[in-house]
Structure 1
Amino acid sequence: MATLATDTNATPGTDPLDVSRGELYRDDTWHEPFRRLREEAPVYYCKDSLFGPYWSVSTYKPLMEVESLPDVYSSERGGMTIADWQEGDVRMPMFIAMDRPKHTAQRRTIAPAFTPSEMVRMTENIRTRTSEILDSLPTGETFDWVDTVSIELTTQMLAILFDFPWEDRRKLTFWSDWAGDIEIATNPEKKQERLMHLYECAAYFRNLWDSKIDKEPTPDLISMMIHSDAMKEMDDMEFLGNLILLIVGGNDTTRNSMTAYAYGLDQFPEERAKLEADPGLIQNATQELIRWQTPLSHMRRTATQDTELAGQQIREGDKVVMWYVSANRDESVFPNADRIIVDRENARRHLAFGHGIHRCVGARLAELQISVLLEEMAKRRLRVNVQGEPVRTMGCFVRGYRKLPVELSRY
């Protein structure tokens, strides 16, 4: 097993290459340990962490190998995140944490909501709502981009996808934040509080479900589940698990990439100038911003058999953690990977949505929402000027922002 001696600033007694430590992401200090892993031990065994022992997969090629072998590296056997199930935990099955064939059947139920034709159908609505928000923003006055733009746009989209009562849409953000915080796995009191909030989520959605039973199909996710053989008979916990998956997936990926647009281009003004001069770069810039941000830092698999990965012996039952946040900074694939380059030739090769059978089912919608935001900003010749450092989330799963003070100006 690859083991390394280091002299970084980790707390004494901890492995400095344990990249599951939440403070690395809160403080934006994750770059150096991952750089060392990519250079010296792309598949590295961390013997001790808050989440137990695990293998770190930090470079592009071996991560793709894990994603491409779902029968060797199971999503279902240990769950989809680095946090293990604990004795007494309430299990909430969801299709991203299932193996074939059940995963395939449930994914097919949801997939029609995200087809190219559905993206065409939704584009005008997304553009209208984006325009309304942008037209309401002040110029030359500081406000929080995260709450005013990123959260509001993504929460509105979730409410439409679920046919969720508009006046209660911020409940979706609240539930998403609680569900996506895997650090809670190490805090029994917080785990109970989270469970209470998620039960409230389940009860609310069960009422929505009941209101649609025996009704004609409609193009929302609840109706699609009701009218499918694969999902119409879910028990309460499976129903809740899939809701959490769709809420977190639809909320965190898009919202944090929208904030990366505001924050990241301010860090690279020459790239912002390229984009302002040539709006034709927006589609490519959208992919580059998603790569640079990588809103979900990792996914986890569990080995179903003894195998070898990049020269390391993986044993049946081992926890294998794929660090998308690191693979998307792999210099062998993305030169100058720490920079945003809006015309990067291979930006679409990023792994922020995963790869293979578990690739994010809503990727097209996330791309559409972000690109429309960039297009509408360009139409108004609006520029985001960051007024202070962001407040980042603490945790190794959702890599995001809580606050970002900005001002708008025109160019």
Structure 2
Amino acid sequence: MSEAAIRYDIQPEVDAYAIPLDKINVGDPELFRTNTFWPYFERLRREDPVHYCADSEFGPYWSVTKYNDIMAVDTNHQVYSSEAGLGGITISNPSEDFRLPMFIAMDPPKHDAQRKVVSPIVAPQNLAKLEGTIRERAAGLLDAMPRGETFDWVDHISIELTTQMLATLFDFPWEDRRKLTRWSDVATARPGSGIIDTEEQRQAELLECGAYFTDLWNQRVNSEPKGDLISMLAHGDATRNMEPMEYLGNIILLIVGGNDTTRNSITGGLLALNENPDQYQKLRDNPDLITSMVPEIIRWQTPLAHMRRTALSDTVLGGKEIKKGDKVVMWYVSGNRDEEAIENPNSFIIDRARPRQHLSFGFGIHRCVGNRLAEMQLRIVWEEILKRYQKIEVVGEPKRVMSSFVKGYETLPVRIPG
């Protein structure tokens, strides 16, 4: 790739420092589609770490951009609420007539009870059982890739591997597994983004998802409890009596959480190694570095750019007075590049001394329940890649998702040298 493709252009940097501070709107999805948001966050971290944007398509909101301030919000659910009824966990405003409660968008005690129902799926003994399955599938997919031809890494590897894993966790009909991919994309897409045209289309497709999973629920609830996620929800004390929209909300949470984050880190890792050939060589020379590279990929990619909270009372953060009801957005993607918290944060370094010091999984009660599964999938993929291929070359620009929530890729053209 050319040097210009590796670094953001100079022009956005000029714009980020030229516009008035109070006009900066880092929630603009176009900044993420074009990968030009970095200098805006850099400026906010330096000049206004807790920044108020009074006017945006999402309404007014606070941006929290530094590592320690994000930690302060993320670990204080008594003041900063995730509750769906107050607006939930994303910067966008949920439709009043299509609210999807889910445990990540709940406060204790209900959050804790529902999360506890599904957490056994990622218990250490279950991960140990899944490892062989993931390795076998990763090996099969990689062996099937063409040599000397350009293909889309996102579709052939990142999506397929994570969708297969999701189908296993749900015990979902194998032949329909790409429905999971579609529903994941639809759940987080913006109308007009190329994935859906209207909010009505989004809601209709998610209701189809709900109907499909209701059939599966009815099968599982009348059977002996098993180890898949639907059976866990159907038989769990805290989840067996959920309303239909709450069930759909939790299903969407598990689909997106189990799919988008790992899928975009698998793509982001390959892109990062191609953009940093010295690190790729370091990895080839010492495959044991996969252990520290995996959390570095997750920091570097930050597959969910933000999480949102709503202030339950007047409070002060970073010297700013936040009022009850204000929307507070924690920009993990910015905190992961905070030079006061992470040494040399703008460099991709696969042998960092403290690679797990990142915000990508969140902190506090909402810390990602599947973080160890995500890390295991990434580790296995890279172990299997290094067994087979000296290099997988990125041969063109990635197409990025138009979203300030999911920081991901639609396509990445690659070639395995013949």
Q: Given the two structures, how large is their TM-score scaled by the length of structure 1? A: 0.94
Aligned to 2:307: 299
What is the 5 A alignment of 1:203-218? Answer: 203-218=211-226
User: Of 221, 224, 242, which aligns to 2:250?
Assistant: 242
Contact 1:9 / 1:16 at 8 angstroms: preserved in 2?
Answer: no
Which residue identity lines up with residue 66 of structure 1 in the other structure?
V
Aligned to 1:407: 415
Gaps of 5+ in 2: 1-12
Deviation readout 1:55-100 (Å, 9 max, x if unpaired):
000010000000111010000032111112344x311100000000
Which residue identity lines up with residue 280 of structure 2 in the other structure?
R
Aligned to 1:32: 39
Q: How far did residue 335 of structure 1 move?
A: 2.4
Q: 2: CA distance between counterparts of 1:300 and 1:312?
A: 17
Q: 1: CA distance between counterparts of 2:345 and 2:103?
A: 32
Q: 2: CA distance between counterparts of 1:292 and 1:195?
A: 32
SS for the counterpart of 2:416 is: strand
Which residue identity lines up with residue 355 of structure 2 in the other structure?
A
Aligned to 1:333: 341
**1:55 and 2:55 aligned:** no
Q: 2: CA distance between counterparts of 1:351 and 1:9?
A: 24
Aligned to 1:220: 228
> Structure 1 runs of 4+ off > 6 angstroms?
9-14
Q: 2: CA distance between counterparts of 1:155 and 1:272?
A: 27
Which shows bigger deviation, 96-105 or 138-147? 138-147
Q: 2: CA distance between counterparts of 1:272 and 1:188?
A: 37
Q: 2: CA distance between counterparts of 1:315 and 1:182?
A: 28
Q: How far did residue 382 of structure 1 move?
A: 3.8
What is the 5 A alignment of 1:68-217? Answer: 68-76=75-83, 77-87=86-96, 89-182=97-190, 190-217=198-225
Contact 2:284 / 2:390 at 8 angstroms: preserved in 1?
Answer: no
Contact 2:191 / 2:199 at 8 angstroms: preserved in 1?
Answer: no
Aligned to 1:271: 279
Change (3 A) 1:396 1:159: same
Contact 1:75 / 1:96 at 8 angstroms: preserved in 2?
Answer: yes
Which residue identity lines up with residue 317 of structure 2 in the other structure?
L
SS for the counterpart of 1:302 is: strand
Contact 1:46 / 1:55 at 8 angstroms: preserved in 2?
Answer: yes
Q: How far did residue 184 of structure 1 move?
A: 7.0
Q: 2: CA distance between counterparts of 1:157 and 1:313?
A: 44
Q: How far did residue 381 of structure 1 move?
A: 3.5
Change (3 A) 1:147 1:61: same
Contact 2:150 / 2:413 at 8 angstroms: preserved in 1?
Answer: yes
Contact 1:144 / 1:405 at 8 angstroms: preserved in 2?
Answer: yes
Q: 2: CA distance between counterparts of 1:72 and 1:213?
A: 37
Deviation readout 1:363-393 (Å, 9 max, x if unpaired):
1111110110011111223421010000000
What is the 5 A alignment of 1:241-260? Answer: 241-260=249-268
Q: 1: CA distance between counterparts of 2:295 and 2:390?
A: 20
Contact 2:41 / 2:65 at 8 angstroms: preserved in 1?
Answer: yes
Q: Alignment RMSD, CA only?
A: 2.0
Contact 1:182 / 1:397 at 8 angstroms: preserved in 2?
Answer: no
SS for the counterpart of 1:152 is: helix
SS for the counterpart of 1:259 is: helix
Aligned to 2:386: 378
Aligned to 1:357: 365
Contact 2:184 / 2:255 at 8 angstroms: preserved in 1?
Answer: yes
Contact 1:133 / 1:149 at 8 angstroms: preserved in 2?
Answer: yes
Change (3 A) 1:373 1:303: same
Q: How far did residue 121 of structure 1 move?
A: 0.8
Contact 1:14 / 1:48 at 8 angstroms: preserved in 2?
Answer: no
Q: 2: CA distance between counterparts of 1:133 and 1:188?
A: 29
Aligned to 2:26: 19
Change (3 A) 1:16 1:271: farther
Q: 1: CA distance between counterparts of 2:30 and 2:236?
A: 42
Contact 2:16 / 2:39 at 8 angstroms: preserved in 1?
Answer: no
Which residue identity lines up with residue 330 of structure 2 in the other structure?
M
Deviation readout 1:281-312 (Å, 9 max, x if unpaired):
10110000000000100000000011111111
Which residue identity lines up with residue 392 of structure 1 in the other structure?
R
Change (3 A) 1:258 1:174: same
| Matched positions, count | 403
SS for the counterpart of 1:120 is: helix
Q: How far did residue 37 of structure 1 move?
A: 0.5
SS for the counterpart of 2:78 is: coil
Q: 1: CA distance between counterparts of 2:275 and 2:347?
A: 9
SS for the counterpart of 2:198 is: helix
Q: 2: CA distance between counterparts of 1:176 and 1:188?
A: 12
Contact 2:183 / 2:205 at 8 angstroms: preserved in 1?
Answer: yes
Q: 2: CA distance between counterparts of 1:193 and 1:336?
A: 44
Q: 2: CA distance between counterparts of 1:40 and 1:32?
A: 12
Percent of paired sites with the same residue = 53
Contact 2:78 / 2:312 at 8 angstroms: preserved in 1?
Answer: yes
**1:280 and 2:297 aligned:** no
Q: How far did residue 402 of structure 1 move?
A: 0.4
Contact 1:8 / 1:16 at 8 angstroms: preserved in 2?
Answer: no
Q: Given the two structures, how large is their TM-score scaled by the length of structure 2? A: 0.93
Q: 2: CA distance between counterparts of 1:243 and 1:266?
A: 35
Aligned to 2:10: none
